[in-house]
Homo-oligomer: A and B are copies of this chain.
Amino acid sequence: MVSSKDVAKHAGVSQTTVSRVLNTPELVKKPTLEKVMKAIDELNYMPNLHARSLVQNKTGSIALLSGPLHNPFFVDSTTEIVNYANDKGYRVSVQFVNDEKLSEAYATAFEHKVDGIILSCMLLDDPIFEKLKRMNIPFITYNRKHKNNEYFVEIDNVQAGYLAVKHMVELGHTNIAWVGGPLSVSTFHNRYVGYKKAMEEYGLDVSEKYIFNTDTSKQDIALAFEQLKNLENRPTAICGGSDSLALFLMDEAFQHGLSIPNDLSIIGIDNVDMSKHGSIQLTTVGSISEENLGFLAIQELIEMIENKKNSCIQITESVKVFKRNTTRSLKTNL
């Protein structure tokens, strides 16, 4: 392993000068600089960033604790986060966190003294939150938030749930089911609140048999679908708590030989890239702005890291319906 000392010896200067060449080249005379550069080149020297981290007490790396990529939301956000951070000179260590491995994931981030943490695996009432805060590392949540969160980026989830129902109502649906996720997650919680609010405002039946807050596993969603299908008063429309859920539901529908939107209307929430694909054309509720939530969050995080700004960052993007082909009007077919 060739070090800056080796370069120094080879160039006939001190290690300090080698360090200067790399960090403050304007402070070193041109001939010296060239000598050192030549030595660096000849020895194929690359600085050891761990050693640098040790003395500078910053690492140039960010931990991303993402949800799994089989959820297309995280495909979009991971892409944006990694690319933006890399552009800004940060490495990003990715972990796809499941609930069992959560605390392990945090430990890894802490031990590597990352400059910041960006995460989407926070429960509304997660005890890890206070621990995280005490670590004094800048962190921001995207998509989800903790009840005491000061730094987060989300969409207006209540409104999203509300608009999903409103869309269905406007198409003439009255039997509108909900298939969401765990209410311990802010996102699903608030979307569900929006669903109930709209259902009540429109005077529709919100009986429990239409409502499934799943654990987001394929099996649990399949179970929910099965039960909805077997209902005597089968729903004509399902609001999925996320695009990922909606896509699972579509898949289930196909497995059961149902045609969408003819036999069943489905709407999602998130407006993920994949929902736009010609074969899918998922109607969904998503942010008005083009900016991805992950992108907004990583921008803010890096701002926090570099400018140490400590005012709260609480971004809640407005939402609208993106009408595509998985929902249809019941009225035209009367």
Chain A interfacial positions (CB closer than 8 Å to B): 1, 44, 46-51, 53-54, 57, 59, 61, 68-70, 75-76, 78-79, 82-83, 86, 91-96, 101, 107-108, 110-113, 134, 247, 250-255, 273-274, 277-280
Contacts and interface: CB of A to CB of B under 8 A. Distances in A.
A51 B54 contact: yes
A44 B278 contact: no
B273 A251 contact: no
Contacts of A113: 1, 48-50
B273 A70 contact: yes
A82 B54 contact: no
A46 B273 contact: no
A51 to B, nearest CB: 6
A251 B324 CA distance: 14
Contact of A46 (B46, B76, B110, B251): B110
A54 B50 contact: yes
23 contacts: A46-B107, A47-B111, A48-B54, A50-B50, A50-B53, A50-B54, A50-B112, A54-B54, A68-B79, A69-B69, A69-B76, A69-B78, A70-B273, A82-B94, A91-B93, A92-B93, A93-B93, A94-B94, A250-B279, A251-B278, A251-B279, A274-B274, A277-B280
A75 B274 CA distance: 12
A245 B254 CA distance: 24
Contacts of A112: 49-50, 91
Q: Is the interface of A mostly helix, strand, loop or mixed?
A: helix
Contacts of A46: 107, 110-111
A199 B107 CA distance: 56
A273 B75 CA distance: 14
A76 B72 CA distance: 12
A265 to B, nearest CB: 14
Contacts of A111: 46-49
Given A50-B50, A274-B274, 5 more contacts: A49-B113, A54-B54, A82-B96, A253-B278, A277-B280
B61 A69 contact: no
A251 to B, nearest CB: 4
Contacts of A278: 250-255
Given A44-B134, A50-B50, A92-B93, A75 B83 contact: no
Contacts of A254: 278-279
Given A54-B51, A255-B278, A279-B251, A96 B79 contact: yes
Contacts of A48: 54, 111, 113
